[in-house]
Every structure is written in structure tokens, then in C-alpha cells.
Amino acid sequence: MLVETLLLVTLLGAGIVMLAPDRVAGKLAAGISVIPVALTTYMYYVFLTDYNGAGNALLSPGEVAFGTQVPWLNLGEYTVQYYVGLDGVSMPLLALTTILTTLAIVSAWTPIDERQSQFYGLMLLMEVSLIGVFTALDFFLWFVFWEGVLIPMYFLIGVWGGPRRKYAAIKFFVYTNVASLVMFAGLFALVFATDVTTLSLPAMATAFRTATGLPTIAGYSLATISFVLMFIGFAVKVPVFPLHTWLPDAHVEAPTPVSVMLAGVLLKMGTYALLRFNFTMLEATARQLAVPLAIVGVVSVIYGAMLALAQRDLKRIVAYSSISSMGYVILGLVAFTPLGMGGATFQMVAHGLISGLMFMTVGVIYNTTHTRMVGDMSGLADRMPWTAGIFVAAAFGYMGLPLMAGFAAEFFIFQGAFNAATLGASAPVLTSLAMFGIVIVAGYLLWAMQRTLFGSFTLETDYEVGRAAFHDVAPLAVLLLLVIALGVAPDLSLDMIQHAVAPLTGGGA
């Protein structure tokens, strides 16, 4: 009942915070959000000690941890269940969700000064949906949570965002909602063409993987068409090139705590769904399309990095960096090797922590200087030493500094993809091109650090620029420690991840 407790505590907490006075809403939300962190930490410990051999829940439903399966609805010939559980892929992402939510709420204490109870209530409501996305194992239930994330995010951007917040919120909502419809069409084309009688994800995976005699349309197998439709639907959420155009607007207009959740967790919904649906249910098709999918990933790496190189707004720089980083995940997934797929999932967690840290740091700088433009400020290291030091550490983490989570994730992906059989002779070329993205990342981050942090202090502002408050710096320090911890001891997550993806990679771990 631990998953149910997580959902119930967070949902009730969201309602309580929305009804609370503004003056206590922030502290109350932070206190309530600590409960899911504590529960998840306990579940993580139990998983490490008791469930570390669990397989991929979509392939081995009997091995799912913390599972609950109860009949729910009867939709004609299809049955819907309340079916939740965790495996080695979803457990780290659940922990990432609860930790980042708490830290994002604390980071909102300074910038959010109006309608606070509604803001913090929506943050907790978004956490409920995110927990559901990573724990639901029935498609109907999963889709409710998947779409449920859109509602609080739309209001968080549209009400508390920047000058173009309404445009950014509508663009985000339209892009992701249309993408869901495309994905839905691709999935149910397969459901109707097979003998599926339940919307349980393990049952659907088994039916799709063993289906024979599927019809062809315009010379293409239904499996291929469904794969492409689902890939497009999930790729918008990732996002990958060329489906990324909603992301910079959403990030720039969203308040910093919302950007933290958007980059840290919401983008991982897309890559998580790709692994759960495309690469698990349609493994054979994914292997056939591995090379074009890898090309999409590599183009996203280089294109996102080049776009970041051209920006002058710190927030836009970090936003475009996310497109580049998610390209590495695609490359790792299509490798279908233990290190490739394991590293891709590890990259989801590592990028979630590092991107959250970068956005929080930019937010602290903006709260103090009231500008994000690189050309408007310099010499901040003298005035804000702790913030500047953490910003430098986060940037080096993004660049792949050894003993930090980003280095471990990228190393695993490159090692797993370099000789991947699915990519054939193109594997070394595509991997090498992706590795070149790190050079571009170093270029724009080193330039941004040198311009804003060092030299003489020249910011022209009526605001006093000094050390940030403790509650602004503390979340940064916690995230930095987590980034270092996973870099020093990646097996805290990688071991369980590799056990989970082993059925897809030939059983190796």
C-alpha cells in the first residue's frame, strides 16, 4: 500500500495547501512534500535490499515491487484495473520526482509572492500526477495521470509566468495534447489488431511482442506505423528535434521552480514512455529502426547544443541544453546493450538533478539581479560567492566532469553505443558525433560563466546585489551533493536499472 499512501498523502496535501492562508502556504507545502520523500527513501532502501533482482515490470509482472492490482472498470471487451507497482526503471525516477518537488517548493519561497496557496497546491497536484505516471501499470490509469500533469503545469505557467506566459502556456498545452492524441492512435491501432482483452501494460506488451499476421498499410507493417506514431507522441514531450519548439518558450516564461520540474521530471516522462512502450512493446521494430532513431538523437544533441551556443539569456541556454541532453538518451536506448539502455535511464536521473540545479542557480541569480541576460552582468562571484561556486560546479557537471553524475551517464551511453549491433557499422560514427556535443556544451557554459561570474562587477541596477538567503542556497547544495553521490557511486541506481532492462538486452547486466 506504499504507492497508494504516496498518492493519497500528496493529493490531500495539495487540497490542504490550497485552502491555507498565503503566509503559511510555502512552509506547509514544503513540510507536506517531505512525507513523500521519506516514503520514497524507505521504498528505495527496500528495493535495493529485497527487490534488486526484479525484472522489467512490462515483461515480468510477477516481479513488480510494491504492486497492487484491483479490478476497476469493465469497458465492453476490455477490462481496466487499478494496477500500480515499481521496477528498477521507475524507482529512481520516482525518487527524482519527490526530491525535486520538495527542493523546487523551497526555491519558490523568494520569487512567488502572490496567490501562494494556489501555486504550492498546484505544485503538489502536479507531483501526484508524476508519481502516477511512474507507478501506473494499466494504460487507462497511466493515461489519466499522463494527461493530469498538463492541468497544473498550464496554470503554473499561465498565471505565475513572465510577460508572454499565456502564449507559452497555450503552446505547451496544444503541443503536448496533440502529441497525446497521436500516441493514442498509434497504440490503439495495435490494441484493435491484436487479441488484447485487458489494458494492463504487461499483458499488452506480451500481446504486441507475440502478435503475428498484422495488416500492412501502404506497404508498411502496422507495427511500424504504430511505432512511429507513438514515437512522435512521446518525442514531443522529450523533446527531440524538430518537435522541440514549445520548450524554450515554456522555460523562459515559467517561474524558476516550474522550470525545475519541467526540465527535471516532465521531460523524463517522454523518455520513460519511449522505453516502456516503444522499446519494450515493439522491441523488434525498434531494433529495425535503430539507425534512423539514433540519427534523430545525434541531431538533437548537436542542434540543441548549437542553439544554446547562440543564446544570451541564461535560462534559454539551460533550456536548449536539455534538448541536447535528451538526445543522448535516445542514442543509449537504441543501442539495446546493458550499458547503453542502462546509461540512457541513468541519464534521465542525472540530467534531472543537474538541469534542476542549473535552473535553480539561474533563478537565484535572477532573484538578486533581476536580469538573466549574460551581457548585463559580470563579477557576480565577488558578491554571491556560494551561488557562483555552485553554478560553476553545476556547469562542470553538465560538461561531464568525472565523479559527477553527468560523466557517469554519458560514459555508459557512449560505451554501450560505440559497438552496438543494432547500429551496425554506423555505431562508432554516430557515437563520435554525439561525443562532439560535449565540446559545444563546454564552449557555451564556459563563456557564460566567464562573462557573468568573473571580472569587475558592472551590473547597473537599483537592487542590492549580495549573498543569497540560506533557503535559496540550501536546495542548490542538496542537489549538488546528490549529483556527486551518483557520480561517485552510480550503482546506487545503475544496478537496479540494468536488472530491469536485462530482458531487452539479452539478459546481460
Q: Is residue 13 within 8 Å of residue 29, measured between CB atoms?
A: yes
**What is the per-residue pLDDT for 449?**
86
SS3 content of the chain, % helix, strand, coil (to 5): 75, 5, 20
**What is the per-residue pLDDT for 441?**
86
Lowest-confidence pick of 270-279, 424-433, 497-506: 497-506
Split at pLDDT 50, 70, 90, the class of 472 is confident
**What is the per-residue pLDDT for 195?**
79
Across 67-85, average pLDDT: 85
**What is the per-residue pLDDT for 314?**
86
The number of residues in the chain equals 509
Q: Is the pLDDT confidence value at 506 over 80?
A: no
Split at pLDDT 50, 70, 90, the class of 319 is confident
Q: Is the pLDDT confidence value at 325 over 60?
A: yes
Measure the CA–CA gap between 348 and 271, rounded to whole angstroms: 8
Lowest-confidence pick of 11-25, 64-78, 99-113: 64-78
**What is the per-residue pLDDT for 203?**
85
Across 244-269, average pLDDT: 89
C-alpha neighbours within 13 Å on the C-beta side of residue 327:
31
Measure the CA–CA gap between 303 and 308, rounded to whole angstroms: 9
**What is the per-residue pLDDT for 431?**
93
**What is the per-residue pLDDT for 53?**
55
**What is the per-residue pLDDT for 507?**
52
Lowest-confidence pick of 32-46, 51-65, 272-286: 51-65
Q: Nearest-CA neighbor of 162 among 443, 370, 352?
A: 370
Split at pLDDT 50, 70, 90, the class of 340 is very high
Q: 194-236: per-residue pLDDT in tens?
A: 878 888 888 888 888 887 777 888 778 888 999 999 999 999 9
Q: Is residue 269 within 8 Å of residue 239, measured between CB atoms?
A: no
For the chain, what is the mean pLDDT? 88
Split at pLDDT 50, 70, 90, the class of 163 is confident
**What is the per-residue pLDDT for 54?**
57
**What is the per-residue pLDDT for 258?**
93
Measure the CA–CA gap between 66 and 266, rounded to whole angstroms: 23
Across 241-252, average pLDDT: 85
C-alpha to C-alpha distances, 443 to 22, 329, 351, 388, nearest whole angstrom:
43, 21, 19, 18
Across 457-471, average pLDDT: 72
Measure the CA–CA gap between 273 and 176, rounded to whole angstroms: 14
Q: 379-388: per-residue pLDDT in tens?
A: 788 888 888 8
Split at pLDDT 50, 70, 90, the class of 509 is very low
Q: Indicate the domain borders of the chain.
A: 289-509
Q: Is the pLDDT confidence value at 61 over 70?
A: no
Measure the CA–CA gap between 90 and 156, rounded to whole angstroms: 25
**What is the per-residue pLDDT for 161?**
85
Split at pLDDT 50, 70, 90, the class of 145 is very high
Residue corresponding to grid cell 540494468: 498
**What is the per-residue pLDDT for 261?**
93
**What is the per-residue pLDDT for 15?**
95
Q: 394-424: per-residue pLDDT in tens?
A: 999 988 889 999 999 999 999 999 988 888 8
DSSP string spanning 217-243? ETTEEHHHHHHHHHHHHHHHHTT-TTS
Q: Is the pLDDT confidence value at 134 over 70?
A: yes
Q: Is the pLDDT confidence value at 52 over 70?
A: no
Split at pLDDT 50, 70, 90, the class of 80 is confident
DSSP string spanning 332-391? HHHH-SHHHHHHHHHHHHHHHHHHHHHHHHHHHHHHHHS--BGGG---HHHH-HHHHHHH
**167 or 212, greater pLDDT:** 167
Split at pLDDT 50, 70, 90, the class of 461 is low
**What is the per-residue pLDDT for 213?**
73
Q: Is the pLDDT confidence value at 295 over 70?
A: yes
- DSSP 8-state symbol, 200: B
Q: Nearest-CA neighbor of 459 among 375, 338, 355, 344?
A: 375
Lowest-confidence pick of 66-70, 209-213, 351-355: 209-213
Q: Is the pLDDT confidence value at 508 over 50?
A: no
**What is the per-residue pLDDT for 241?**
85
Q: Is the pLDDT confidence value at 125 over 60?
A: yes
**Could you give the percent of the chain with pLDDT greater than 90?**
53
Q: Is the pLDDT confidence value at 331 over 80?
A: yes
